A and B are shown apart, each in its own frame.
Chain A
Amino acid sequence: QKEVEQDPGPLSVPEGAIVSLNCTYSNSAFQYFMWYRQYSRKGPELLMYTYSSGNKEDGRFTAQVDKSSKYISLFIRDSQPSDSATYLCAAAMNSGYSTLTFGKGTMLLVSP
Protein backbone atom coordinates (compact mmCIF):
# COMPACT_ATOMS: atom_id res chain seq x y z
CA GLN A 1 0.00 0.00 0.00
CA LYS A 2 1.36 3.41 -0.99
CA GLU A 3 1.60 5.83 1.89
CA VAL A 4 -0.38 8.53 0.05
CA GLU A 5 -3.21 7.53 -2.28
CA GLN A 6 -4.84 9.86 -4.78
CA ASP A 7 -7.38 9.23 -7.54
CA PRO A 8 -5.69 10.08 -10.87
CA GLY A 9 -8.89 11.35 -12.52
CA PRO A 10 -9.36 13.10 -14.83
CA LEU A 11 -11.96 15.17 -13.06
CA SER A 12 -13.99 17.30 -15.49
CA VAL A 13 -16.12 20.20 -14.25
CA PRO A 14 -17.76 23.26 -15.80
CA GLU A 15 -16.43 26.73 -15.07
CA GLY A 16 -17.74 28.07 -11.77
CA ALA A 17 -18.16 24.68 -10.13
CA ILE A 18 -16.83 23.80 -6.70
CA VAL A 19 -14.06 21.25 -7.00
CA SER A 20 -13.14 18.73 -4.33
CA LEU A 21 -9.80 16.93 -4.58
CA ASN A 22 -8.93 14.25 -2.05
CA CYS A 23 -6.14 12.05 -0.77
CA THR A 24 -5.80 9.43 1.91
CA TYR A 25 -2.66 8.48 3.76
CA SER A 26 -1.58 5.61 5.95
CA ASN A 27 1.39 6.88 7.98
CA SER A 28 0.22 8.29 11.31
CA ALA A 29 3.55 10.09 11.71
CA PHE A 30 2.73 12.55 8.93
CA GLN A 31 2.25 16.04 10.37
CA TYR A 32 2.56 18.34 7.35
CA PHE A 33 0.28 18.20 4.36
CA MET A 34 0.77 20.06 1.10
CA TRP A 35 -1.00 20.66 -2.16
CA TYR A 36 0.90 21.32 -5.36
CA ARG A 37 -0.42 22.40 -8.74
CA GLN A 38 1.40 21.23 -11.86
CA TYR A 39 0.76 22.47 -15.36
CA SER A 40 1.78 20.23 -18.24
CA ARG A 41 5.56 19.91 -18.60
CA LYS A 42 6.21 22.32 -15.73
CA GLY A 43 7.49 21.84 -12.21
CA PRO A 44 4.96 21.52 -9.37
CA GLU A 45 4.07 24.77 -7.63
CA LEU A 46 3.32 24.80 -3.91
CA LEU A 47 -0.27 25.96 -3.41
CA MET A 48 -0.94 25.48 0.28
CA TYR A 49 0.19 23.55 3.29
CA THR A 50 -1.33 22.72 6.66
CA TYR A 51 0.08 21.41 9.89
CA SER A 52 -1.82 18.63 11.66
CA SER A 53 -5.60 18.75 11.46
CA GLY A 54 -7.71 21.73 10.49
CA ASN A 55 -8.58 24.04 7.64
CA LYS A 56 -6.61 26.69 5.82
CA GLU A 57 -8.08 29.12 3.32
CA ASP A 58 -6.36 31.17 0.63
CA GLY A 59 -8.63 32.99 -1.77
CA ARG A 60 -10.64 30.42 -3.72
CA PHE A 61 -8.67 27.52 -2.23
CA THR A 62 -9.31 25.70 1.04
CA ALA A 63 -7.13 22.88 2.36
CA GLN A 64 -8.55 20.54 4.95
CA VAL A 65 -6.93 17.76 6.96
CA ASP A 66 -8.73 15.19 9.10
CA LYS A 67 -6.07 13.18 10.93
CA SER A 68 -8.62 10.93 12.60
CA SER A 69 -9.63 9.54 9.21
CA LYS A 70 -6.28 10.24 7.50
CA TYR A 71 -8.02 12.29 4.84
CA ILE A 72 -6.67 15.33 2.97
CA SER A 73 -8.84 17.61 0.85
CA LEU A 74 -8.46 20.63 -1.40
CA PHE A 75 -11.54 22.64 -2.34
CA ILE A 76 -11.57 25.12 -5.20
CA ARG A 77 -14.46 27.56 -5.34
CA ASP A 78 -15.60 29.26 -8.55
CA SER A 79 -13.28 27.11 -10.63
CA GLN A 80 -11.70 28.69 -13.70
CA PRO A 81 -10.29 27.18 -16.92
CA SER A 82 -6.87 28.35 -15.68
CA ASP A 83 -7.25 25.93 -12.77
CA SER A 84 -6.94 23.05 -15.25
CA ALA A 85 -3.83 21.22 -14.11
CA THR A 86 -2.69 18.20 -12.16
CA TYR A 87 -2.98 18.57 -8.39
CA LEU A 88 -0.59 16.63 -6.18
CA CYS A 89 -1.01 16.08 -2.49
CA ALA A 90 2.02 15.43 -0.32
CA ALA A 91 2.75 14.64 3.30
CA ALA A 92 5.79 14.79 5.55
CA MET A 93 6.83 13.94 9.07
CA ASN A 94 8.00 16.49 11.58
CA SER A 95 11.63 15.44 11.72
CA GLY A 96 14.82 17.19 10.70
CA TYR A 97 15.36 15.34 7.45
CA SER A 98 11.88 14.30 6.48
CA THR A 99 11.22 13.92 2.78
CA LEU A 100 7.91 14.53 1.08
CA THR A 101 5.69 11.60 0.14
CA PHE A 102 3.54 12.41 -2.87
CA GLY A 103 0.29 11.09 -4.23
CA LYS A 104 0.20 10.35 -7.96
CA GLY A 105 -1.80 13.48 -8.72
CA THR A 106 -5.33 14.19 -9.96
CA MET A 107 -5.84 15.80 -13.35
CA LEU A 108 -8.48 18.54 -13.25
CA LEU A 109 -10.16 19.88 -16.39
CA VAL A 110 -12.33 22.99 -16.08
CA SER A 111 -14.33 23.68 -19.22
CA PRO A 112 -15.51 27.21 -20.17
Chain B
Amino acid sequence: SQTIHQWPATLVQPVGSPLSLECTVEGTSNPNLYWYRQAAGRGLQLLFYSVGIGQISSEVPQNLSASRPQDRQFILSSKKLLLSDSGFYLCAWSYRDRGGAGLGFFGSGTQLSVL
Protein backbone atom coordinates (compact mmCIF):
# COMPACT_ATOMS: atom_id res chain seq x y z
CA SER B 1 0.00 0.00 0.00
CA GLN B 2 1.02 3.58 -0.53
CA THR B 3 2.04 5.87 2.30
CA ILE B 4 3.11 9.48 2.47
CA HIS B 5 5.40 10.83 5.16
CA GLN B 6 5.67 14.49 6.02
CA TRP B 7 7.74 16.07 8.74
CA PRO B 8 8.02 17.81 11.09
CA ALA B 9 4.48 17.97 12.48
CA THR B 10 5.05 21.30 14.20
CA LEU B 11 7.63 23.98 13.57
CA VAL B 12 8.24 27.37 15.17
CA GLN B 13 10.69 29.58 13.32
CA PRO B 14 11.82 33.21 13.71
CA VAL B 15 11.25 35.70 10.92
CA GLY B 16 14.14 35.68 8.47
CA SER B 17 15.19 32.12 9.17
CA PRO B 18 15.35 29.42 6.46
CA LEU B 19 12.81 26.65 6.01
CA SER B 20 12.96 23.10 4.77
CA LEU B 21 9.96 20.76 4.85
CA GLU B 22 10.32 17.28 3.45
CA CYS B 23 7.82 14.81 2.10
CA THR B 24 8.36 11.27 0.84
CA VAL B 25 6.00 8.76 -0.75
CA GLU B 26 6.32 5.00 -0.51
CA GLY B 27 4.65 2.19 -2.40
CA THR B 28 4.21 3.87 -5.77
CA SER B 29 6.35 5.12 -8.62
CA ASN B 30 6.22 8.29 -10.69
CA PRO B 31 3.63 10.08 -8.56
CA ASN B 32 2.52 13.64 -9.08
CA LEU B 33 3.50 15.58 -5.97
CA TYR B 34 1.94 18.70 -4.47
CA TRP B 35 2.49 21.27 -1.74
CA TYR B 36 -0.57 23.03 -0.34
CA ARG B 37 -0.98 25.67 2.34
CA GLN B 38 -4.14 25.87 4.41
CA ALA B 39 -4.96 29.07 6.25
CA ALA B 40 -7.98 29.44 8.51
CA GLY B 41 -11.07 30.33 6.49
CA ARG B 42 -9.20 30.27 3.19
CA GLY B 43 -9.24 26.64 2.21
CA LEU B 44 -6.45 24.76 0.48
CA GLN B 45 -4.10 26.84 -1.63
CA LEU B 46 -1.99 24.94 -4.14
CA LEU B 47 1.59 26.20 -3.95
CA PHE B 48 3.60 23.84 -6.17
CA TYR B 49 3.13 20.67 -8.09
CA SER B 50 5.55 18.34 -9.82
CA VAL B 51 5.05 15.72 -12.50
CA GLY B 52 8.64 14.46 -12.43
CA ILE B 53 12.15 14.87 -11.05
CA GLY B 54 13.27 18.47 -11.40
CA GLN B 55 9.90 19.52 -12.88
CA ILE B 56 8.21 22.09 -10.66
CA SER B 57 5.21 24.27 -11.44
CA SER B 58 4.48 27.23 -9.21
CA GLU B 59 0.90 28.29 -8.73
CA VAL B 60 1.46 31.31 -6.52
CA PRO B 61 4.52 33.62 -6.70
CA GLN B 62 5.87 34.06 -3.20
CA ASN B 63 8.69 33.59 -0.77
CA LEU B 64 8.77 29.81 -1.14
CA SER B 65 10.36 27.35 -3.53
CA ALA B 66 10.08 23.61 -4.12
CA SER B 67 12.41 20.93 -5.35
CA ARG B 68 12.10 17.29 -6.33
CA PRO B 69 15.53 15.69 -6.13
CA GLN B 70 14.19 12.13 -6.31
CA ASP B 71 11.09 10.53 -7.77
CA ARG B 72 9.28 10.20 -4.44
CA GLN B 73 10.76 13.14 -2.53
CA PHE B 74 9.40 16.65 -2.48
CA ILE B 75 10.93 19.54 -0.53
CA LEU B 76 9.48 22.94 0.31
CA SER B 77 12.01 25.65 1.11
CA SER B 78 12.46 29.27 1.94
CA LYS B 79 15.62 31.32 2.35
CA LYS B 80 14.01 33.87 4.65
CA LEU B 81 10.65 33.28 6.30
CA LEU B 82 8.05 36.02 6.59
CA LEU B 83 5.27 36.31 9.14
CA SER B 84 2.80 35.67 6.34
CA ASP B 85 4.34 32.24 5.70
CA SER B 86 2.67 30.89 8.85
CA GLY B 87 0.10 28.22 8.14
CA PHE B 88 -0.63 24.53 7.84
CA TYR B 89 1.41 22.97 5.04
CA LEU B 90 0.29 19.78 3.38
CA CYS B 91 2.10 17.50 0.99
CA ALA B 92 0.04 15.31 -1.33
CA TRP B 93 0.49 12.82 -4.13
CA SER B 94 -1.65 11.50 -6.95
CA TYR B 95 -1.30 8.84 -9.63
CA ARG B 96 0.44 10.24 -12.67
CA ASP B 97 -1.28 10.62 -16.00
CA ARG B 98 -4.70 9.73 -14.70
CA GLY B 99 -5.95 13.31 -14.72
CA GLY B 100 -8.73 13.77 -12.26
CA ALA B 101 -8.85 10.05 -11.74
CA GLY B 102 -5.42 10.28 -10.13
CA LEU B 103 -7.12 11.63 -7.02
CA GLY B 104 -5.12 13.11 -4.16
CA PHE B 105 -3.71 11.60 -0.99
CA PHE B 106 -2.44 13.84 1.75
CA GLY B 107 0.25 13.74 4.38
CA SER B 108 -0.43 14.61 8.00
CA GLY B 109 0.65 18.23 7.63
CA THR B 110 3.13 20.64 9.22
CA GLN B 111 1.90 23.51 11.38
CA LEU B 112 4.38 26.33 10.79
CA SER B 113 4.42 29.34 13.07
CA VAL B 114 6.70 32.21 12.11
CA LEU B 115 7.32 34.57 15.03
Interface of A with B (CB < 8 Å)? 8, 30-32, 34, 36, 41-46, 49, 51, 88, 90-100, 102-105
Contact = CB atoms under 8 A, between A and B. Distances in A.
Interface string B72-110: 000000000000000010101010011111111111110
A42 B44 contact: no
A83 B71 CA distance: 35
16 contacts: A32-B99, A41-B111, A42-B108, A43-B6, A44-B44, A44-B106, A46-B103, A51-B101, A88-B43, A92-B99, A97-B32, A98-B100, A98-B102, A100-B104, A102-B43, A103-B43
A45 B104 contact: no
Contacts, number: 71
A91 B99 CA distance: 11
Interface residues of B, number: 28
B99 A96 contact: yes
A96 B96 CA distance: 7
A43 B103 contact: no
Contacts of B101: 32, 51, 94
A64 B97 CA distance: 25
Contacts of B41: 8, 104
B51 interface: yes
